[in-house]
Homo-oligomer: A and B are copies of this chain.
Amino acid sequence: MANGNCFGVLFSITTYGESHGGAVGVVVDGCPPRLPLTEADIQAELDRRRPGQSHITTPRKEADRCEITAGVFQGLTLGTPIHIMVRNQDARPQDYSEMATTFRPSHADATYQAKYGIRNWQGGGRASARETIGRVAAGAIAKKILRLAAGVEILAYVQRVKDIEAQLDPAQVTPEQVEANIVRCPHPQVAAAMIQAIEAAGREGDSLGGVVECVARHVPRGLGSPVFDKLEADLAKAVMSLPASKGFEIGSGFAGTYLTGKQHNDEFYMTPSGWRTRSNRSGGVQGGIANGEDITLRVAFKPTATIRQAQNTVTLDGEDTVLAARGRHDPCVLPRAVPMVEAMVALVLCDHLLRHQAQCGSLNLPEWEGSRFNASETAQALT
């Protein structure tokens, strides 16, 4: 519980698995009972994450077929832990043999070795992006709960690759636009330019980074927690735990620091269905708690550390050397990071949905008026 392989408090997940070990998987605990759930619900998201989905992702061939071995009965969740597993298939450990003794710059090889005195060097072991299979699988369940319980919609997309940037209004982006191209940028022309840039970097054995933006719509007002588990804090941790992430912003982010308070504050106004804010520089969160407006956030992903170009590095035995990585790698992680970001955001929001219900849900008290949280009403009022 305290070793960094679990995430979430009430809707919580534990992932396991190495890139070229036997299997990767996840145990999802705390799922409400009687949710309709099939492997197809999960596979749809895994397919957006899997390698080999296009020519700008790693050519590793993994169908990433998931199997639910526990927690679902006759198509409904039981309220018991859900176990989802994916067998590794296209493992080629021999492609990584030089990594047994040579540390890739800016990768986790050296630090794992320093921490544990051992590591599974085949394809990055536990530090491989294959670990995120469990996150995406669990995120698919979280998304479904959020959608059914409160109409929440979570949508991420590539906003920038290196310096190729799309000007987008988060409120207007649709899932169809995002899935319309292989780079997952909802602006077709910019997407084409991004793809060209990624192709070029791949040819040169180099790699690119960029920014994924994410919007969560119809998040019920009141979700979140005011001190350490502020919604923005939990979201920051969630996405900063993804491989290659280097920065996080919510709402106005770093740009907002150039404004004065008068310019930055989001003024309130009344509507027939309750208060709203005229602007949304807060990014949907005030004091750690959702205000009902769209939650908007951005994540910086560095260029992939594993590249084919030669780099200076050192060996396990403490010798200087030069490494030009073999193996199969993404020249740009961003297209596949999109479903990962969505999954992490969904996990945070679903956890806070249950946490809110625990503390502030209606206890049906005759003498004591609870806070009468009603997720669907709130969501409706905001639509």
Contacts and interface: CB of A to CB of B under 8 A. Distances in A.
B236 A33 contact: no
A190 interface: no
A261 B7 contact: no
B268 A303 contact: no
A42 to B, nearest CB: 15
A157 to B, nearest CB: 15
A302 B111 contact: no
A193 interface: no
Contacts of A24: 70
A221 B115 CA distance: 7
Interface in A337-367: 353-367
A26 B119 CA distance: 22
A259 B33 CA distance: 36
A227 B15 contact: yes
B268 A103 contact: yes
Contacts of A196: none
B27 A27 contact: yes
Given A209-B264, A227-B241, A262-B311, A10 B358 contact: yes
A358 to B, nearest CB: 4
Q: How many copies does the complex hold?
A: 4
Contact of A246 (B36, B241, B254, B358): B254
A16 B71 contact: yes
A361 to B, nearest CB: 5
A252 B260 contact: no
Contacts of A307: 261-262, 265
B300 A257 contact: yes
Contacts of A120: 73, 78, 80
A54 interface: no
Contacts of A6: 1, 6, 14, 29, 228
Interface in A106-144: 106-112, 114-120, 125-127, 131
Most chain B CB inside 10 Å of its own CB: which residue of A257, A258, A283: A257
A72 B302 CA distance: 30
Contacts of A375: 363-364
Interface stretch (A55-63, A179-187, A270-278): A270-278
A35 B108 CA distance: 21
Contacts of A127: 226, 287
Interface in A244-295: 245-254, 256-270, 274-275, 277-278, 281-283, 285-292
A335 B371 CA distance: 38
A204 B132 CA distance: 49
A318 B127 CA distance: 51
B208 A368 contact: no
Contact of A222 (B111, B259, B274): B111
A97 interface: no
B111 A258 contact: no
Contacts of A289: 108, 111-112, 114-115
